[in-house]
Structure 1
Amino acid sequence: MSEQEAKVMKEEMNDYRVQGFSCANCARKFEKNVKKLPEVQDAKVNFGASKISVYGETTVEQLEQAGAFENLKVKPEKSAEVVNEEEKKQEEKVPFYKKHSTLLYSVLFMALGFLSMFVNGNENIVTALLFITSMLVGGLSLLKTGLQNLVRFEFDMRTLMTIAVIGGVIIGEWAEVAIVVILFAISEALERFSMDRARQSIRSLMDIAPKEAVIRRNGQEIMVHVNDIAVGDIMLVKPGQKIAMDGVIVNGYSAINQAAITGESVPVEKNLDDEVFAGTLNEEGLLEVKITKLVEDTTISKIIYLVEEAQGERAPAQAFVDKFAKYYTPVIVIVAALVAVLPPLFFGAGWETWIYQGLAVLVVGCPCALVISTPISIVSAIGNAAKKGILVKGGVYLEEIGGLKAIAFDKTGTLTKGVPVVTDYRVIEEQTDEQGLLSIITALEYRSGHPLASAIMKKADSDNISYSDIPIEDFSSITGKGIMGKINGKIYYIGSPKLFQELSVTNLNKAIEWDVIALQKQGKTVMVVGTEDKIEAIIAVADEVRESSKEVIQKLHQAGIKKTVMLTGDNHSTANAIGEHVGVTDVQSELLPQDKLDVIKQLKSENNHVAMVGDGVNDAPALAASTVGIAMGGVGTDTALETADVALMGDDLKKLPFTVKLSRKTLNIIKGNITFAIAIKLVALFLVIPGWLTLWIAILSDMGATLLVALNSLRLMRVKEDE
């Protein structure tokens, strides 16, 4: 496909919400039907998010016709918000007995059938009619789809069930067939309920941001729907209200609870020109916010979109199950046929007995539990992660994290805060005025523009020391060594220890040199302050290590991550000091961006599965080359959301061990589900040998397996960070 064609297709792509999916197989069949529509070039169903992306021209009527086999209802994505609200209200109004009336009527006719069988006997025409009515009421949709599949030689769960039902009716097993139909309907309802519960984690994200906001226009304050708010509008947010749109504070200050997006429970102080995000809670002051993004571009909208896309991405386990089910279902049909035919032909057994056993094999062979085992797990886990401020962009990455052997960390902004701070300030002579000297140092640095000057200015500000109004004469920069300037007739120097060796100051002794070396070994940048005659103070600045870094590295090692590597452009001594402090197993220093990429490639060749944790901007090549790229601080950072496979929204490294734990738990649950689903089928199939397998045991084992697998998967929604 040419770039132009791809662009045209993207422009013609439309998303639709789909209501009524009962299983993954139905979703795939719907996708196949939509692809056959005349003006459609391609279509992709996202079963996890219950939506379809259509490339080309089509109508809602055509889409609903393609999903008529399952009576699917389709709505355009743009109106989904309104539709969701309407559906919620309608669902609240619909009583249980009306919602499941078909199933209840089916059960009623079956009960009457058993009553008639008790009174009139099994062979009575009334008994037969009641059971057949129960089958038709409860299984009309099943039989209709199954027969269509049978004509097209498409074998799925409904095809197997239809053959079993028709066969059961032919050999006169009215009661058992009625039970099978009802239990299958219950199984589908449970499957649908489980999937809806998993999807609810994303729907709850949609409800986080208010649908209306107070906007000031033409001097008036009016309530406006978020769809009608424009970039540049001024939004008013009172204390206790949720923020409806992304924007920048133009008046007021407050503490904002960003837990809905970042997962962090501690409110964040926000002042003038600070960004605020839709869905967060204004806890204190009245805010005036200038809107910077349309509703579809807000951070919460992007998160919801990316999470839904992630739920649609098939994990390796899902790909295995899909491939397995593709060949498994026809094999079950062949096995069932052999069970029904071989014993009567070669061993003189009764035809009716073994046809019945063959039909039971068809029923027990339904891969419901197997097919649902992975999607519910992936949707539940990704939804849980999103609520805790961890954006995982696909099932494949969720699985890959569980198999990690090595994790590389960019130092600046990841293991450290990325902001330099003054760690040590020592005057050489006791009689020196510490505050007076600090104001002189800050006044000089204020004019220097040096990257570390901001740390010294912050120190002065926090100590309430004024510096901007101190007059300086003959200020100049000494290239590669430091700065100098005249204050009150005296020339002051700030620079490296080498600068003062050249000045030949009188008090440069071993004690000062040892102090400088000791601070440098701790990974700090040391600046010496003095005049032409003597050294007056030593000031050390460092990129502050995050409080959580040491604990996070320790937890990762306890979780079985064998290798943790810190990557930095810092010199060897600084890098080693920080690496030793946080506890990483390896330190790679004095690296250029290209060098970081080479280190990742080397780690990958040695360990196969490697994650890279960075800020998503200058670490983009290394993030892309790793097995899983993890970006820090995804809130409002488009680059992090687009580049990385996983984004830690709250800029919180402590979420990394939880992500590893959730991934491993997801993998274990998926493997457990698949093993259990296959094992229960094998156990039921072994009952064929002594002839003990019945239709109702077959469907009960299938329904039981589906229910247990679904409930087991939903446990992932409850995994907590402190477990």
Structure 2
Amino acid sequence: QSIAVYRSKRSITALIDLKAVTATVIRGGEYVTIAVEELQKGDLFVVRSGEKVPVDGVIKEGASFLDVSALTGESLPVTVEAGSKILSGSINGSGVLQVEADGTYEESTVALILKMVEESTSRKTESERFITRFAKVYTPIVVLLAILIALLPPLFTPLSFSVWLYRALVFLVISCPCALVVSVPLSFFAGIGSLARMGVLVKGSNFLQLLSETKGVVFDKTGTLTEGKFTYRGMEIREGSPYSEEELLQMAASLEQNSTHPIGKALVEAYKGSLLEATNLNERAGKGIEGYFDQLFVEVGLSSTQELSVSVDGVVEATLLVVDSLKEEAREAIAELREVGVERVVLLSGDSEAAVAQAAQEVGIEEYYSRLLPQDKVAHIERLLSEKPKNSSLLFVGDGINDAPVLARSDIGVSMGQLGSDAAIEASDVVIMEDQLKRLPQAIKSSRRTLRIVRQNIIFALAVKIIILILGALGWATMWMAVFGDTGVALLAILNALRALKRL
């Protein structure tokens, strides 16, 4: 089991597809394709539409919008232009960018994330198996005691050697740790199997134990609490504007129907009426789209304050609110987490302050932090780990590439399997395959039930064995009692362990 978990963790570097394999550089006026590791500081390279940025750099020519959600968790595409600094791992949404490399691949953001995952994984505490350790000490001790019972008492008592040999054999049969060695791992396996039937995959029994001790839960926002789809939520119209929300939304949607931008699609879906025909359309990469409706010049894009807005004849008439829709069960799941004893719920996101604050309010989370890069999230996790109660676990739930270091550093990392990236899934300890947040409190309850069964088996087996061991040493226990203390207790413990298979 330990080997399987280790191999699963080790394979993360092979599964992360965020890293660009090659880069197209401009040398002597020609385009040359090289391995990303060969890029040097100062090289001028080209990033076409849909391609990944190979290394960090500064744009020299071109404008576009970048998908950086895998890196920062920012759900909205980021607009960039000449002079903008961009991070490796970002995906170019449109147009062609000429970028000057800030450094080599080893110094890039993607390389940093990989390094952090590997370091965080090595720092994660591994639970030692109590029964394995117990059996290594217990077995030689009882064998030695059985030998002593057979050899020493005949020297000092009137009873014959055969009597003490019989008592030693009874002692030896009773002392066999089968009930513990078999039932305890079986309880964990049954618990893991029960969770698997719920669509929750746990990568080891040690993680099941950590899950049962959860007192703090930290969420990522984009793709974890949200659907990963944009939704129009309204607009803030300037005071004195001659236009209504319906008129402004109609003009915005009429322009955006000609765009492939994800925000534009959200506006088109939001407007249910008939669209207008625009003329002189002009979509500016990374800036927005503009056009005429009769004599009105309308623009939809980023204003001077970097807010998504609708402008008519150069006047910003409204600020648009387009957000990533929250999952329907998010609020209910967080409420259930508190019901099962989770004392602290925190939201960490690379998204904007306004978006994170709104999401936190809607799902009932009081503590939240925004505009976080992967290293910032790790720093927050380190702080939360230092503040957690003793003998408790801190659980992190995420789905993006940027979440991989945090998933690995937290006591137990949970990723969303259906939407989650390969990096997040491989760095996590628990995978929720159906992307249903309600499975999280159910998993915690199920893990606690499994641990209760494990403790019941340990206490029951040890108590019965200790009693019969003492009786055997005094000569009051028969071989049949010894067999019951061994095989009978083992069967009862196994039957109790099978209760962990039952779904909650």
Report the TM-score range of the alignment, normalised by the length of the smaller protein: 0.5 to 0.7
The alpha carbon displacement at 1:696 in A equals 0.6
Is the partner of 2:176 in helix, strand or coil? coil
Aligned alpha-carbon RMSD (Å):
3.3
1:412 aligns with 2:222: yes
- The 2-side partners of 1:663 and 1:433 are apart by 54
Over 3 Å counting, the alpha-carbon distance change for 1:591 and 1:640 in structure 2 is closer
Taking only the aligned residue pairs, the percentage that are identical comes to 37
| Aligned equivalent of 1:494 | 300
What do residues 349-408 of structure 1 show as CA deviations (whole Å, max 9, x unaligned)? 343333222211111111110111222112211111112111111112111212223221
**Residue equivalent to 1:701:** 485
- The letter for the 1-side match of 2:478 is T
Amino acid at match of 1:567: L
Q: Given the alignment of the two structures, is residue 383 of structure 1 paired with residue 193 of structure 2, yes or no?
A: yes
The answer (yes or no) to whether the contact 1:337–1:358 under 8 Å persists in 2 is: yes
Is 1:548 the counterpart of 2:359? The answer is no
Counterpart of 2:297 in 1: which secondary structure? Answer: strand
Which of 335, 347, 354 pairs up with 2:157?
Answer: 347
Name the residue aligned to 2:426: 642
Q: CA deviation at 1:491?
A: 1.1
Aligned to 2:368: 587
Taking the aligned partners of 2:151 and 2:319, their CA distance within structure 1 comes to 94
552, 561, 575: which one pairs with 2:356? Answer: 575
Q: Is the 8 A contact 2:407 2:424 kept in 1?
A: no
Q: Deviations over 1:120-152 (max 9, x none)?
A: xxxxxxxxxxxxxxxxxxxxxxxxxxxxxxxxx
Alpha-carbon distance, 1:339 to partner: 2.6
**Which of 429, 432, 453 in structure 2 is aligned with 1:669?**
453
State whether residues 149 and 167 of structure 2, in contact with CA within 8 Å, keep that contact through their aligned partners in structure 1. yes
Which is richer in strand? 2
TM alignment of 1:213-612, pairs within 5 A: 316=127, 319-424=129-234, 438-447=249-258, 450-460=261-271, 463=272, 465-466=274-275, 470-473=277-280, 475=282, 477=284, 483-494=289-300, 527-532=308-313, 539-607=320-388, 609-612=393-396
Quick one: structure 1 residues 586 and 534, their matched pair in 2 at CA, closer, same or farther if it must change by over 3 Å? Answer: closer
SS at match of 1:413: coil
Give 1:694 shift: 0.3
Partner SS state of residue 579, structure 1 = helix
Indicate whether 1:660 and 2:470 are aligned.
no
- Structure 1 592/651 Cα, relative in aligned 2: closer, same or farther at 3 Å? same
- The amino acid that maps onto 2:368 is V
Q: Which residue identity lines up with residue 228 of structure 2 in the other structure? A: G
The CA distance in 2 between the partners of 1:642 and 1:344, in whole Å, is: 61
Measure how far apart 1:432 and its partner are. 6.6
Name the counterpart of 2:475: 691
Q: Secondary structure in 2 aligned to 1:618? A: helix
Q: What SS is found at the alignment partner of 1:412?
A: coil
Distance 1:717 1:385 in 2: 8
Q: Which runs of 5+ in 2 are unaligned?
A: 5-125
Letter in 2 for 1:609: S
TM-score normalised by the chain length of structure 2 = 0.67
Structure 1: distance between partners of 2:3 and 2:225: 40
| Equivalent residue in structure 2 for 1:630, among 400, 408, 414 | 414
Q: 1:340 to 1:570 in 2, by over 3 A?
A: same
Taking the aligned partners of 2:427 and 2:400, their CA distance within structure 1 comes to 6
Q: Report the Cα distance in structure 1 between the residues aligned to 2:427 and 2:437, rounded to whole angstroms.
A: 18
Deviation sequence 1:579-609 (CA, Å, 0-9, x none) = 2332224211111122112212222233373
For residues 405-460 of structure 1, the C-alpha deviation after alignment (integer angstroms, 9 at most, x for no partner) is 32211111111222220122688999978766544211323445555222112223
One-letter code aligned to 2:406: A
Q: C-alpha displacement at 1:327, in angstroms?
A: 2.5
Q: Is the 8 A contact 1:316 1:396 kept in 2?
A: yes
8 Å Cα contact 2:333-2:438 kept in structure 1: yes
Query: Please, what TM-score do these two structures have when normalized by structure 1?
Result: 0.48
1:484 maps to a residue whose letter is E
* SS in structure 2 of the partner of residue 348 of structure 1: coil
Alignment of 1:199-210 (within 5 A): none
Q: Tell me by how many angstroms 1:672 deviates.
A: 1.9
- Please tell me the residue identity of whatever aligns with 1:336: A
Q: Give the helix-richer structure, 1 or 2.
A: 1
Q: 1:61-98: per-residue Cα shift (whole Å, max 9, x none)?
A: xxxxxxxxxxxxxxxxxxxxxxxxxxxxxxxxxxxxxx
Q: Secondary structure at the match of 1:452?
A: helix
* Amino acid of the structure 1 residue aligned with 2:488: G
Matches of 1:576 and 1:535, distance apart in 2: 25
Deviation at 1:688, TM superposition (A): 2.9
Q: 1:466 to 1:577 in 2, by over 3 A?
A: closer
Larger radius of gyration between Structure 1 and Structure 2 = 1
Distance apart, 1:335 and its partner CA: 1.7
Where 1:653 maps in the other structure, the secondary structure is coil
Distance of 2:410 and 2:416 partners within structure 1: 15
Structure 1 residue 566, shift from structure 2 partner: 0.4
C-alpha separation between the residues in 2 aligned to 1:322 and 1:486?
76
C-alpha contact 1:339 1:355 (8 A) present in aligned 2 = yes
Provide the C-alpha distance between the structure 1 equivalents of 2:435 and 2:358, rounded to a whole number of angstroms.
Answer: 23
